[in-house]
Structure 1
Amino acid sequence: MATTPLIAVTLENADAVYRYYAEHQQPRWKSRFAYFYLARTYRPRVGFDGDARGMIAALVRSGVPMVICANHLTDRDQFILAATAWRSTLRPRIGHTRVLAKDELFVDPGQRAKIDMMGGIPVFRAKNHDTRTAVAAGRQMIDICVERAAATGDSIAIFPEGTRNENPAVLLPIASGVGHIGSGIARRTPVALVSIGIAYPDASCRDAEVVIGEPRTIAATDKPAVITRTVRVDLQHAVDLARDRLAGRADHPRSR
C-alpha cells in the first residue's frame, strides 16, 4: 500500500500526486477479480499476430516489462484492454501493469478507487490545462513510468493517440510520450513494445476483435522519435488485422 496520504488529483498538486503514484501498489487479487469480471462482461475475441502468443509468454516468464500500446476509440477501451489481459498470455501481468489515464477520471472518489485498483496513473493533458505546467507534469509522469518499470518490473499500458479517434481505420498521430517512456526504460532495463489493435462490432463494445502484435525489443540506443514511429507502424498493423478479423465474421460483416 502507498505510504503517502490520498490527495486530490489536480495539476496544482502534481508533485504530490506523482510522489503518491511512485509508491502506490495495486491490490493484486482485487485487480484480478476486476479483470475477470470485465472479461466476462465484454468477451473480447483475442487473437495473436504471428508468434506473438509464445513471444509474450516468454517475456512474462522472464519478468521483462512491456510498454503496451492500444488504439483509442471509446471511453470503454480500458475495460477491453483489461479483459484482453485476462483472456491472453498477459494475465500474469495483472496487478503489475500501470495504465495511463486522463486526470478527469480521478476526480470522483468512487471512480478513482476503481482506477487506482486497476493500476491507473493520471495524465494531465496540455489541451485541458496550462500548456507549460502540463508539460512539466508530463515529464514527471514519464519519470514515474520509467522508475516503476525499472525498479519493480511493472509494465506500462498506453493509448498513445492521446484522445478518442473518430476514424477507427486510421490511427491519429502518436503522442511523443510513448517514445520517451520506452527510451527511458530501455536505458535502465530490457523492455519490449507490444501493440494491441481493437475493432468493435457495435457501440456496446462487446465481442470486440482484438489482435496482439508480436513484441518488439526496444534498444537502449533507440531515440524517442524512432520508438514513436515504430509504435505507429506496429499499432496500425494490429488495428488492420483486428478490422480484417471483424470484417470476416458472419455475425458482423462490417466493422464500425
Structure 2
Amino acid sequence: MDRPEVTLENYRAVYDYYRDHQQNRVLAKLAYAMLSMKYRPRVRYADGAEEQLTELVKSGAVLLVAANHVTHSDQYTLAATAWKTPLRRVIGRTRVLAKDELFTDSDLRKKVDMMGGIPVFRSKNYGLRAVADAGRLMMDVAAERLCRGDNLAIFPEGTCNEGDPTRLQHINSGIGHIAKRAVDRGATPALLSIGISYGPDAHGADTELVKGASVYVAQPLTALPGKPMDIAHIAQYELQKAVDGAVAAY
C-alpha cells in the first residue's frame, strides 16, 4: 500500500495505512542505539521496577507506555531510554503516537515511520469537532495494534508543558479509551509510566540542555480500572510520581 498524504481530510486512508505499517526492525534498533549515544539519558528505576519490566517483556506482555511532555526532544529521549532498558527487546514492535506535523516533510516522515509513529490530529490545531471522527479511528487502530502484540507509547498531556515542568498538565481520557478498547478486544495492557526531567533550564534554546536527561521508570501497573476516565486518573497519578522521581534524581 502506498503511503497516503497525512492530512485530516485523508484520515481514513492514513489510518488504514498505519493499521498495518511495520518498520524495518534492524534499522529501528540502529536508530535507537544512535539516539542513546547522542542523548545519554540517566535512567533510574522505582524499587523492583527493572525486574518487573524485564519479566513483562520476556513474557510477551503488551505495554502502554506513558511519558511526560516537556520539550520537542522528548521522543528522542524516550527512544534513547528504550535502548538502555529492558524495552530494547521490543524496539520495532512499539508504536508511538506523534503529532501529524511530523509527517508532512518527506525526510522527517521516513524517520518517524521508522520509529513506529502513528499520526494524531490534535484538537488544538483543528478544533475538537473537526478531529472527533479521526480521533476515534486513531484510538481503534492503537487498540488493535496492542491486541496484535505491539506496545504503544503516548505523551498523554498532548502538548509540551510550557508552564511548570515538574507538574503534569491535565491528562484527558484518550489514554483510557485506548486501553479500554484494547481490553474489550482481549488484550491486557500494562501501564508503564516514565518521567523525564531536563532540570530547571528545560525550556532554553540550547539543544544541549536536553542531553543527559534524568529519566525515572516507575513500577508497571498490570491491573487497570474498567472505565476510561478512571484509567486516565490513575495514569495522571502514576506519571506524576514518575516525574517526581525524575526531578528528584536530576
Instruction: Decide which of 78, 83, 89 is 1:81's aligned counterpart.
Output: 78
Q: Which runs of 5+ in 2 are unaligned?
A: none
Instruction: Decide which of 146, 150, 155 is 1:154's aligned counterpart.
Output: 150
| Structure 2 Cα separation of the partners of residues 99 and 169 of structure 1 | 23
Are residues 1:186 and 2:190 paired? no
| Structure 1 Cα separation of the partners of residues 64 and 86 of structure 2 | 15
Instruction: Decide which of 106, 109, 117 is 1:109's aligned counterpart.
Output: 106
Secondary structure at the residue paired with 2:119?
strand
Deviations 1:74-112 (A, max 9, x none): 000000000000001111010010000000110000000
The 10-residue stretch of structure 1 (51-60 or 182-191) with the greater mean CA deviation from structure 2: 182-191
The residue that corresponds to 1:139 in the other structure is 136
The 10-residue stretch of structure 1 (203-212 or 105-114) with the greater mean CA deviation from structure 2: 203-212
The residue that corresponds to 1:249 in the other structure is none
Question: What amino acid is the match of 1:6?
Answer: R
Secondary structure at the residue paired with 2:86?
coil
Over the aligned positions, Cα root-mean-square deviation in angstroms equals 1.0
The residue that corresponds to 1:216 in the other structure is 221
| Structure 2 Cα separation of the partners of residues 112 and 28 of structure 1 | 16
Secondary structure at the residue paired with 2:211?
coil
Deviations 1:101-155 (A, max 9, x none): 000110000000000000000000011114323011010000001111102x100
Instruction: Decide which of 94, 98, 107 is 1:97's aligned counterpart.
Output: 94
Question: What amino acid is the match of 2:2?
Answer: P
The residue that corresponds to 1:58 in the other structure is 55
Percent of pairs with identical residues: 48
| Structure 1 Cα separation of the partners of residues 70 and 128 of structure 2 | 25
The residue that corresponds to 2:35 in the other structure is 38
The residue that corresponds to 2:194 in the other structure is 196
Instruction: Give the CA deviation at 1:191.
Output: 1.2
Instruction: Give the CA deviation at 1:10.
Output: 0.2
| Structure 2 Cα separation of the partners of residues 110 and 123 of structure 1 | 18
Instruction: Give the CA deviation at 1:179.
Output: 0.6
| Structure 2 Cα separation of the partners of residues 215 and 226 of structure 1 | 17
Are residues 1:231 and 2:235 paired? yes
Secondary structure at the residue paired with 2:43?
strand
Preserved contact between residue 186 and residue 218 of structure 1 (Cα < 8 Å)? no
The residue that corresponds to 1:250 in the other structure is none
Secondary structure at the residue paired with 1:23?
coil
**TM-score when scaled to structure 1?**
0.92
The 10-residue stretch of structure 1 (206-215 or 122-131) with the greater mean CA deviation from structure 2: 122-131
| Structure 2 Cα separation of the partners of residues 176 and 102 of structure 1 | 17
Preserved contact between residue 183 and residue 218 of structure 1 (Cα < 8 Å)? no
Instruction: Decide which of 161, 164, 172 is 2:160's aligned counterpart.
Output: 164
Instruction: Give the CA deviation at 1:176.
Output: 1.3
Secondary structure at the residue paired with 1:6?
coil
Secondary structure at the residue paired with 2:195?
strand
Preserved contact between residue 218 and residue 227 of structure 1 (Cα < 8 Å)? no
Instruction: Decide which of 10, 23, 28 is 2:25's aligned counterpart.
Output: 28
The residue that corresponds to 1:253 in the other structure is none
Instruction: Give the CA deviation at 1:186.
Output: 2.1
**TM-score when scaled to structure 2?**
0.94
Does 1 or 2 have the higher relative contact order (CA < 8 Å, sep 6+)? 2
Q: Which runs of 5+ in 1 are unaligned?
A: 247-256
